[in-house]
Amino acid sequence: MKNLFSLLLLASVFAHAQNKLDFEFDYAQFSYDSTSNFVEFYYSFNQASLKPEEQNSHKNLEGILKIFIQDSVKGDTIVYNQWLMKHEITDTSKIGDQALVGTLGFILPKGNLVCEVSGTDLHDKTKSRTITEHIDVIPLINKNMGISDIQLSANMTQGSENTESIFYKNTFEVMPIPNLVFGKFNPVLFFYSELYNLKSPDIKSPELKLKEMIYNSRGKVMKEKSKTITRNTNSRVEVGSFILKNYPTDSYTIALALIDSAGNQATTSSKKFFVYNPDVQVVDTFETSTSPSISSMFGTMSEEELDDLFQKLKYIATSAEIEKYEKLNNIEGKRSFMNDFWKIRDTNPATPENEFFKDYLKRIEIANQRYSAMGRTGWKTDRGRVYLLYGEPTEVERYPNQLESRPYEIWQYNEIEGGVYFVFADLTGFSDYMLVHSTKRGEMRDDNWSRRINVN
């Protein structure tokens, strides 16, 4: 989301220069339909940075909010509008650090969008600020389990009856905090999120695990919670809170991870925020960073889950990587290894998702569905290993009922080394197809493989 503030400048959010408008903006995406998301924009004008204007014996603070949203690929303008924000005041000496906070919602189509949000003092247009964000809209309604963006709040009311409030949704009244600063002045962080597609047939676990965690700028986990999520509804709201009064001044990240252990899949959502607590001593200034792995799904995995994933990635790991992992004896080292292992294999680092990792997990799932045999899960079999390494064959020839030979299959890959093939045979008669020959370099080769499958 937003760039991190320098810690040396963090406290400056509380100082309001006379010639600069203190204007902030944030946003969160929620599901709408299969082609778009509902995006909420949160904005705030600090009252002390606006010039009071007297009108009909009343003094008003007035600001102009402008929003321009464009598709960065197609060039289409999606939103281009402005709104007048007005607030009547009775005593200018009591304006202080209070903010005029509001929200607007838009249905935005799938795509990479450029968004410019501007705030201007209506009565002193030299005081203005423009914030530019790149928003990737990936529809949250699909066949995969998902988590919305995380909306942060300094004040949340559960079971609210104030349905007319612009901050009301799903029985909650959620007051946004666009500057994302907590601590001395906002000691409790509340969060609101939504979980989707919980009844997806692709989910293998009868129950899901939801992990909540906060870590600091050096990757140190400050707080971690977990709970079990039942799948009796397809979507649900998740809210929670963290007390931050004892957190030292720093930038932090809150992360949610929804985990399907049986299906070896997980989805995450995270949000950066800031804590300003000048009276709290920093006790880990010289602590070595645990690594950026905490910011990924690996930071939510147990050691058992990490070891299980390591066994599944051995097929694509180098001997040096295998040796390195097997020497690790703590969970943070294993989380760091996983983060680095998949990061260097990311086929498109410019996107938020690691497509290679996602594709590999999908191959594991398919291998388990198709090739399990003799009490072994599919990824552990010969066919499963080849599928994980090389993907879907170009063509498969199956010979299940030959009179003079045992059942066998020939997998053809036209795009590898100019064309290679693998031969698998059921030598035991229990549908456990073993690799008996391949023309792929580095794989087992036996040009007389047909003799091994002959029943005579």
The structure tokens listed for 396 are 């498969």
Confidence (pLDDT) at 296: 54
Query: What's the confidence (pLDDT) of residue 20?
Result: 73
Return mean pLDDT, the chain: 85
Residues 118, 295: Cα–Cα separation, whole Å: 30
- Residue 375 in domain: yes
Residue bearing the bigger pLDDT, 209 or 300: 209
pLDDT computed for residue 97 by the predictor: 60
Residue 378's identity, in one-letter code, is: G
φ/ψ (deg, to 5) at 146: -155, 165
Residue 188 has pLDDT above 70, yes or no: yes
Q: What is the pLDDT of residue 343?
A: 81
Question: Residue 17: what pLDDT?
Answer: 41
The string of pLDDT tens digits covering residues 106-143 is 999 999 899 999 999 998 999 999 999 999 898 999 88
pLDDT for residue 4: 32
72 within domain boundaries: yes
For residues 153 and 167, give the distance between their C-alpha atoms in angstroms, rounded to a whole number. 11
Q: In this structure, is residue 330 part of a structural domain?
A: no
Assess if residue 111 is contained within a domain: yes
385-444 per-position pLDDT tens digit? 999 999 999 999 999 888 888 999 999 999 898 899 999 999 888 788 999 999 998 899
pLDDT value at residue 24? 94
Q: Three-class SS of residue 178?
A: coil
pLDDT at 291: 38
Q: What CA–CA distances, in Å, run from 165 to 12, 56, 169?
A: 31, 28, 9
134 domain-assigned = yes
pLDDT of residue 132: 92
Radius of gyration of the chain (CA): 28
Nearest CA to 196 out of 133, 135, 271, 138 is that of 138
For residue range 394-406, list pLDDT tens digits in order: 999 999 888 888 9
Long-range contacts formed by 53-58: CB under 8 A, 24+ apart: 53/122, 53/123, 58/88
pLDDT in tens, 20-76: 788 999 999 999 999 999 999 999 998 888 888 877 777 888 999 999 999 988 999
- Sort strands 181-183 and 265-276 into parallel, antiparallel or unpaired: parallel
Other CB atoms closer than 10 Å to residue 347's CB: what's the count? 10
Q: Supply the DSSP string of 261-323, one letter for each residue.
A: TTTTEEEEEEEEEEEE-TTSPPS-TTPPP--GGGGSGGGG--HHHHHHHHHHHGGGS-HHHHH
Q: Which residue, of 125, 141, 157, is where some domain finishes?
A: 141
CATH number, position 59: 2.60.40.10
pLDDT of amino acid 216: 83
**Beta-bridge partners for 422:** 411, 438
Of the residues 101, 119, 141, which one is the last residue of a structural domain? Answer: 141
Query: Cα(252)–Cα(311) distance, rounded to whole angstroms?
Result: 32
Confidence of residue 90 (pLDDT cuts 50, 70, 90): low
Going edge to edge, which strands form the sheet with 265-276? Answer: 181-183, 265-276, 250-260, 207-216, 221-230
pTM of the model: 0.62
Count of positions (residues) in the chain: 456
Tally of domains in the chain: 2
Q: Which of 141, 168, 195 is the last residue of a domain?
A: 141
Of residues 344 and 229, which shows the higher confidence score? Answer: 229
Looking at residue 383, its pLDDT comes to: 95
Q: Where are the alpha helices (DSSP H) in 6-154?
A: none
**133 within domain boundaries:** yes
* Cα–Cα distance list, 159 to 150, 151, 170, 171, 175 (Å): 19, 18, 9, 5, 14
Q: How confident is the model at residue 340 (pLDDT cuts 50, 70, 90)?
A: confident
Average pLDDT over every residue of 372-391: 90
Single-letter residue type at 173: E
433 in a domain, yes or no? yes
Give the pLDDT confidence score for residue 235 in this predicted structure.
95
Q: Is residue 256 in some structural domain? A: no
Q: Which domain holds residue 108?
A: 1-141
Could you give the percent of the chain with pLDDT greater than 70?
89
